[in-house]
Amino acid sequence: MNKSKIKSMKLYNNVGRIFNELKEIGKDKSKNLKIEDLIQFDQLHYCGIEAVDFAIKKTKINSSKSVLEIGSGIGGPARYIGYKTNAFITALELQVDQHQIAKDLTEKCKLSKIVNHIRGDILNYKWDNQKFDVVVSWLALYHIKNHKRLLDNCFNLINKNGYFFTEDLISEKKLSINNLSELSTDLYANYLTTYEKYLDDLENNGFKVVYHKNMTQKWANFIKNRKLSYKKHKNRNTRVHGKKTFQNMNYFYSIVDKYFSSNKLGGIKVIAKKQ
């Protein structure tokens, strides 16, 4: 995966904006933070901790389980899983700035003993025979063009009877060359397949799909409301983050809404098991 080109996705610029939000609530100078201070800012996927709670329940994560999150960003889901279950989490993130912010926030939450942040690429990271009971990912795998290698690596990393969970982007309609070019830049989208093909990919790589759901309509509503709310609070968001960051985030929220509203992009939630 190209580390520099991924920054064409404006969501991944100015990732330190979470500290602006902490300053706004008077927590920027705090040596220690609570999960409750962060969850409204550090869950960058759709539907917040509701989505993480679902994964915890359905993949049976508890204090005896080891978990790998792929594309862990600034660490929101990993911290929440650790806090909620006391499971040991390995949080793998490609981008240096997100990785460093994630480590800092996890330390402030006093969760470093159970949430281990590492920087690397799932396609070539050296695991030294390490295995996990559960592999999870939120809105990250569509960045990875070589899905066959990705799923092979995931399969090999999961213990027998372990789970693979992801929420990811899919294509709902055939995308034009111009669509694909725009999405490649603005969402760093490198693998947008159909719902059916996504499931087939897992089965063809040795997994048994045990749950799947089309999330398109629910996410479309979330995305629409997010865009409208961000624009409605333009003055507040510009004051807190500055004009450039507001423009970047407003552009990103608008482009995602454009593709969901036109039913070109959609979403999938899927759980597969290694038997």
Q: Are residues 275 and 162 in contact, defined by beta-carbon separation less than 8 angstroms? A: no
**For residues 58-75, average pLDDT:** 98
pLDDT of amino acid 30:
84
Q: In what order do the strands lie in the sheet with 265-273?
A: 115-119, 88-93, 66-70, 132-138, 158-171, 265-273, 208-214
Helix (H) or strand (E) holding 119: strand 115-119
| Beta-bridge partners for 89 | 67, 115
Split at pLDDT 50, 70, 90, the class of 3 is low
Ordered structural domains, the chain, with CATH: 5-218+264-273 (3.40.50.150)
Mean pLDDT for the stretch of residues 116-126: 97
CA distance 166 to 268: 8
pTM, to two decimals: 0.95
pLDDT at 28: 84
Alpha helices in the chain (DSSP H): 17-24, 35-38, 48-58, 76-85, 96-108, 147-157, 177-186, 195-204, 216-232, 234-241, 243-261
CA distance 201 to 102: 31
**Which residue type is seen at 184?**
S
